[in-house]
Amino acid sequence: MKQYVLVHGGCHGAWCWYKVKPVLEASGHRVTVLDLTASGVNMSRVEEIQSLEDYTKPLLKVLESFDSDDKAILVAHSLGGPSVGLAADMFPSKISVAVFVASFMPDITNPPSYTFEKYLESFTEEESSNMEFGTYGTHERPLTSVFLGTKFLAKYMYQLSPVEDFELAKMLVRVGPAVTSNLTGTKSLTEEGYGSVTRVYVICGEDKSLTKEFQRWIIDNFPVKEVMEIKDADHMPMFSKPLELCDRLLKIADKYA
Active-site pick, 35, 165, 207, 234: 207
Is 235 assigned a catalytic role? yes
Contact 137/143 with Cβ under 8 angstroms?
yes
Is 90 within 8 Å of 60 (Cβ atoms)?
A: yes
CB-CB neighbours of 117 under 10 Å: 16
Candidates 8, 29, 77, 235; catalytic one: 235
CA dist., res. 85 & res. 152, Å (int): 26
**∠ at Cα 77 (155, 34), nearest 5°?**
120
Distance of CA 77 to the CA centre of its chain: 3
CA 161 and chain centroid, separation: 18
List, edge to edge, every strand of the sheet that includes 199-204: 30-34, 3-7, 72-77, 95-101, 199-204, 226-230
Please state, in angstroms and as integers, the Cα–Cα distance from residue 122 to each residue in 19, 87, 118, 167, 210, following that order.
32, 27, 6, 28, 10
Residue 83 a catalytic site member:
no
Kindly name the residue from 39, 78, 83, 188 that is annotated as catalytic.
Answer: 78
78 part of the active site: yes
Enclosing H/E stretch for 30? strand 30-34
Confirm if 203 and 216 have CB atoms less than 8 A apart: yes
The dihedrals phi and psi of 64, each to the nearest 5 degrees, come to: -60, -35
What stretch of H or E contains 228? strand 226-230
Catalytic site positions: 78, 207, 235
